[in-house]
Amino acid sequence: MGINSNIILCLGSNLEDRYKNIKTAVNLLKKHEMKILNNSFLYETEAVDFEDQTAFYNIALCISTNLDPTNLLNTVKRIESIMGRRESIRFGPRLIDIDILLYNDIIIESDFLCIPHKKILERYFVLQMLKDIDEEIIIPGCELKVKDAYEKVGKDKTVVRLSQKALKGVL
């Protein structure tokens, strides 16, 4: 498979030094056959699903890679493991979480991989980050542009944009 360049990952952390965890994950992605083409701002976001936990730092990255979706998933899971992530409460606190939001216009629904991410249309902070990257992206399967999905999503969670230069020198 050739280089694919419309792939968007979401990174999140809410344990220990959240900023350092995001930076470490970005550096590890770059060392594992991924080139960062664009990124959202860094945000502090209120937890969803399991709400009794520290707020997350989140960032979305548009990357290029020659990894197919399954190998990309395996690689990001390996990076999470290298960083010390351990399975715990579903949607609970995480040292690092790396989700594949979009992979070109591919739609995959399996037991271990769903692309687009199955909660993409429900998460205000995710759509905000996608908007930062390109509000004209069309979300496969629903054929909505990011800007239109963003207008429809509930905005009941706190999402705070952090410094624009937060990851300068890393990305």
Does residue 22 lie within any of the structural domains?
yes
153 token code pair: 């999503």
CA distance 79 to 96: 9
Count other C-beta atoms under 10 Å from residue 34's C-beta: 22
Tell me if the bond preceding 116 is cis, omega within 30° of 0.
yes
Residue 113 lies in a domain: yes
pLDDT for 89 equals: 61
What is the model's pTM? 0.92
pLDDT in tens, 129-150: 999 999 999 999 998 999 999 9
Widest Cα–Cα separation across the chain: 43
CATH number of the domain to which 84 belongs: 3.30.70.560
166, part of any domain = no
pLDDT tens, residue by residue, 97-123: 999 999 999 999 999 999 999 999 999
Position 12 in a domain: yes
User: Do residues 45 and 56 make contact, with C-beta atoms less than 8 angstroms apart?
Assistant: yes
Q: For residue 80, what pLDDT is reported?
A: 94
Residue 64 within any structural domain of the chain: yes
Full residue range of the structural domain in which residue 57 is found = 4-161
Domain count, the chain: 1
Q: Does the residue 170 lie in any domain? A: no
Q: Is the residue at 137 inside a domain?
A: yes
pLDDT < 50: residue spans in the chain: 1
* Whether the Cβ atoms of residue 131 and residue 123 lie closer than 8 Å to each other: no
Report the chain's terminal Cα–Cα distance, integer Å: 25
Residue 1 confidence (pLDDT): 43
Q: How high is the pLDDT of residue 141?
A: 95
Backbone angles phi, psi at 7, to 5 degrees: -110, 130
- CA-CA distance, 61 to 73, in Å (whole number)? 15
Residues 6+ apart with CB under 8 A from 77: 98
**68 part of a folded domain:** yes
Q: What is the pLDDT of residue 4?
A: 63
